[in-house]
Amino acid sequence: MAHPLIPQILDLAAPVAQSLGLEVVTAVFHTHQSPPVLRVDVRNQEDDTGLEDCEQMSRALEAALDESNLIPDAYVLEISSPGIPNSLTTDREFTSFRGFPVIVTTSEPFNHRAEWSGNLVRRDEDAVHINLKGRSIAIPRSLVKTVHLADGEE
């Protein structure tokens, strides 16, 4: 269950992140630790999220939180990246994970299969292209339900 201050923290953090070209992904307040830890995950909207992004967000959010007095007691602020997404949805993710093993599920069978495993080649306007044991497969985007990163190599 989320801490009751999380909605207010998100309302405060979102414009701070936006001013830095970042997006707030999640926030969790671990009050069972001493001192409590407020962890905010941010994502760079244009590039990979780096240490500099986290440092800028930390300084800016710390100042905004101090000014708001939303959290009156001592706490530790942690800013981090949400990590690698499991499901690929954006053009940037499809470009970043080119060559990685993926599992493509379709809304209805394509060539008698509803799930395809292979290495991601690309996504274009018409299809998601994967390499299946040296064979190129183009799965129509209209049928693609999800594209997930696979755990192991193909």
Q: What is the pLDDT of residue 2?
A: 78
Asked if residues 78 and 38 have their Cβ atoms less than 8 Å apart, the reply is: yes
What dihedral do alpha carbons 63, 66, 69, 71 form, nearest 10°? 110
Is pTM beyond 0.75? Reply is: no
Spell out the domains of the chain, with CATH numbers in brackets. Answer: 6-80 (3.30.300.70), 91-149 (2.30.30.100)
Instruction: Note the pLDDT of residue 1.
Output: 64
User: Per-residue confidence of the chain (154 residues) as pLDDT tens digits?
Assistant: 678 999 999 999 999 999 999 999 899 999 988 899 999 999 988 888 888 999 999 999 999 999 999 998 999 999 998 776 678 888 888 998 999 999 999 999 999 999 999 999 999 999 999 999 999 999 999 999 999 988 754 3
Q: How far is CA 26 from the centre of its chain?
A: 10
